[in-house]
Structure 1
Amino acid sequence: MAARCNRVKDVVGPIAFEDYAALEEGAAREFIDSKMLTPIRVSDSSGPFFLNDAVQLCKLLRTEKNLFQLYEEASGRHLLSAKQRGNQYYISSYEFKGHFSPSKFSAVVRQYGGDKAPVSYRLYLCVGAQLLNNQARPIIEVWPSSSCCAGQYVRKLRILLPTPTPRGDVSPHYTHDYSKLAGKHSSPTHTSASGVIRLRNKTPIVKNGAYSLKFARGRAKLSSSKNFLVYREEDLRYDADAPSEEAVFQLGKMGSRTFALDFCNPLSPLQAFAIALAAFDSKHLQPPKTPRKPGSL
């Protein structure tokens, strides 16, 4: 009889997070497929993999107030689910049907900050309901904020993520000291050369109190404060009105509780999903009320 193997397989392999002893005992663990951790890639005839600019079109459904489902647009295949509890989103490959098991999740988005400190959302991989990596090393971090534009407060997103390897794999965590990277987040000279990529959203146009963004491929035509076009920071620095086709992420309202969620290199499906969750959770500030004049109603 072969000896049991208690080791854990590669964390981003096709059978990631697989504990063979647990399987023999009938207790399979939740895992994230490597495709959810990898930007779209194609196979070169010469052998190695390389990244292309293909866009992955998805549909995000908000089936309940705190329940989200991500589907591939063309095939309708379910990709990821998320359930919010408190200041955390629990992410799973399972399609939640209203019931949530705290043991069946493989990633978590946590909110940090608040009380005058900047709020951020950090994505971590998990195994056995425990964080896989050191808490100082998220896979992606999102900083939401807002600013006043034409009398309306518009939402902003700034994003930091690790640079994919030449083969397209995303490291489960940063290879640098994350606390130092976070401190440099506002520096315009800090680029992907140091192992991280910086993204931010384009400011929407406000017309007659409504938010206006032109989405690529006409994917979203409904106005919403949760509509976002996200670019590499250097692209917006050189062209503040960069075309929507150059965006690496777009989240746009298609209908009631339905959003288009499209993304491409350098984002993986899991990272794009985390950005959308942070965008939904961030509070939207209302414009200050104009003080009434004495004697007016």
Structure 2
Amino acid sequence: MSFRSIIQDMRDEIGSISRKGFEVKLGYGLRSRSHRAVNDGSGLPLVDALKQSCWANIPPELLRDVLMRIEETSDSWPPRKDVVACAGVCRNWRNIMKEIVKTPELSNNLTFPISLKQPGPRDITLQCFIKRNRTAQTYYLYLGLTQALTDDGKFLLAARKCRRPTCTDYLISLDLENMSKGSGSYIGKLRSNFLGTKFTAYDAQPPYAGAMVSKSRSTRLVGSKQVSPRIPPGNYPVAHIAYESNVLGSRGPRRMQCLMDSIPASAIEPGGVAPTQTDFPIGSLDSFSSIPFFRSKSAHVEQLPLPSAGQKEGKLVLKNKAPRWHEQLQCWCLNFRGRVTVASVKNFQLVASEENGQANQEHDKVILQFGKVGKDLFTMDYRYPLSAFQAFAICLSSFDTKIACE
């Protein structure tokens, strides 16, 4: 039997089960629409029918070989949806797929939701773009599927702007529609000060072992009906972004600096390691059932030593790359390698600050770049040691109005 016929048989088997009343949940196995077992009229629960499926009882050696071939042949979206679909068939398939699929740092791919919290590739940059909806004050992050920005891309994250009397919050969610903090898809936020010159990015879950939650008014106001009663979301600082006052006038470029609380300065050096979350907490399991990605059962964060909150020199500091003045064009210019086409004060490139150590080739690499390509379309390219969530939060700070910077 050919490999193609094996895949076709698997699809037919899964389709026959779903037609009997099941809904394939790509997040955590198969469950009924009422979240309990139902009968197909013969008196046999469909859960038992699933256990008797030939695909659920494939010998582990054969199953591993089949799933490895699927993983190797699906290196980009949309074919990579087959990898996610395999992880949602049953527990045996899911456990093996968890072992096969590597982190973005090693595979250069974003596969499951937890990939958005993990550091990006070391050797390449992941090219994404952000769409802005001015009317709804929402922002959507997509993974670019082609070099052209005309395609829809793969949806990754969404954010909604919430104005408050003394600050502005950007709530970040895995859900395209529900971006409230009370939803189970909420994963973090970005908060600004009154002037819009300083921002703090918060992760809803600990970014590394021993992370300290930040006390704020929002955490005290969260009620039992808004979040899961088992593990409510917290405010764990992961980045502090500061924009300096613009001394060059309204037409001068912005100057910004990012202090990454959860990333050590040594992460950019050869052999350096950044914290890597591996699973969402147990309290979020039921919340991600409608998201077409994968979530894991355990709540584990890689044990990595990080400096204490008072040791600023031990954390990674990013600064924007200084633009140069172009005499012929009479404007400030940066080399975005064709990824940015419209001049804007929002455009920036972030590199490692020399405060992290002696200047070398690693400090000259652009870790995150953001720029305008249309009226409400922006590109976002990032790499290790930033994650998609951290990069998105930093870029959201550029959208906010800055009274003292422009």
> What does residue 276 of structure 2 align with?
169
The answer as to whether partners of 1:59 and 1:260 remain within 8 angstroms in 2 is yes
Structure 1 residues 169 and 100 mapped into 2: Cα distance closer, same or farther (>3 Å)?
Answer: closer
- Give the one of 60, 80, 95 matched to 2:176: 95
> What does residue 157 of structure 2 align with?
80
The count of residues paired between Structure 1 and Structure 2 equals: 236
Amino acid at match of 1:64: R
Rounded Cα–Cα distance in structure 1 between residues aligned with 2:358 and 2:254:
21
Rounded Cα–Cα distance in structure 1 between residues aligned with 2:232 and 2:244:
27
**1:117-144: CA deviation from partner (whole Å, max 9, x where unpaired):** 96222222169288634x4x41222122
> What does residue 246 of structure 1 align with?
365
Q: Secondary structure at the match of 1:147?
A: coil
**1:148-179: CA deviation from partner (whole Å, max 9, x where unpaired):** 2377342122112223684861569994443x
1:114-263 alignment, distance < 5 Å: 114=194, 119-125=198-204, 128=227, 132-133=233-234, 135=235, 137-149=236-248, 152-161=251-260, 162-163=262-263, 166=273, 169-170=276-277, 175-178=306-309, 180-181=310-311, 184=312, 190=313, 194=314, 196-206=315-325, 210-215=331-336, 217-234=337-354, 246-263=365-382
The percentage of counterpart residues that share the same residue type is 22
TM-score, with structure 1 as normaliser: 0.65
The answer as to whether partners of 2:339 and 2:371 remain within 8 angstroms in 1 is yes
Rounded Cα–Cα distance in structure 1 between residues aligned with 2:256 and 2:395:
10
Q: Secondary structure at the match of 1:40?
A: coil
Matched, 1:54 2:161: no
Structure 1 residues 100 and 169 mapped into 2: Cα distance closer, same or farther (>3 Å)?
Answer: closer
**1:57-92: CA deviation from partner (whole Å, max 9, x where unpaired):** 001111225210011111611000000111111111
Rounded Cα–Cα distance in structure 2 between residues aligned with 1:120 and 1:167:
22
Q: Secondary structure at the match of 2:119?
A: coil
Q: Structure 1, unaligned stretches of length 5 or more?
A: 1-13, 17-22, 26-31, 42-51, 185-189, 288-297
The answer as to whether partners of 1:214 and 1:244 remain within 8 angstroms in 2 is no
Asked which structure has the greater CA Rg, the reply is 2
Structure 1 residues 204 and 102 mapped into 2: Cα distance closer, same or farther (>3 Å)?
Answer: same
Q: Secondary structure at the match of 1:109?
A: strand
Q: Which is helix-richer, 1 or 2? A: 2
TM-score, with structure 2 as normaliser: 0.49
**1:223-260: CA deviation from partner (whole Å, max 9, x where unpaired):** 000000100112999779x9998200000111111111
Q: Secondary structure at the match of 1:138?
A: strand
The answer as to whether partners of 1:111 and 1:121 remain within 8 angstroms in 2 is yes
Q: Secondary structure at the match of 1:70?
A: strand
The CA deviation at 1:95 is: 1.4
Rounded Cα–Cα distance in structure 2 between residues aligned with 1:142 and 1:131:
26
The answer as to whether partners of 1:59 and 1:73 remain within 8 angstroms in 2 is yes
> What does residue 7 of structure 1 align with?
none
Rounded Cα–Cα distance in structure 2 between residues aligned with 1:175 and 1:236:
15
1:5-24 alignment, distance < 5 Å: none
Rounded Cα–Cα distance in structure 2 between residues aligned with 1:274 and 1:286:
19
Rounded Cα–Cα distance in structure 2 between residues aligned with 1:209 and 1:131:
52
Q: Secondary structure at the match of 1:34?
A: helix
The worse-fitting range, judged by mean Cα deviation, of 147-156 and 32-41 is 147-156
Q: Which is strand-richer, 1 or 2? A: 1
Q: Secondary structure at the match of 1:169?
A: coil
Q: Structure 2, unaligned stretches of length 5 or more?
A: 1-25, 29-33, 37-111, 147-152, 206-225, 278-300
The answer as to whether partners of 2:198 and 2:240 remain within 8 angstroms in 1 is no
CA RMSD after TM alignment: 4.1
The answer as to whether partners of 1:15 and 1:33 remain within 8 angstroms in 2 is no
The answer as to whether partners of 1:146 and 1:285 remain within 8 angstroms in 2 is yes
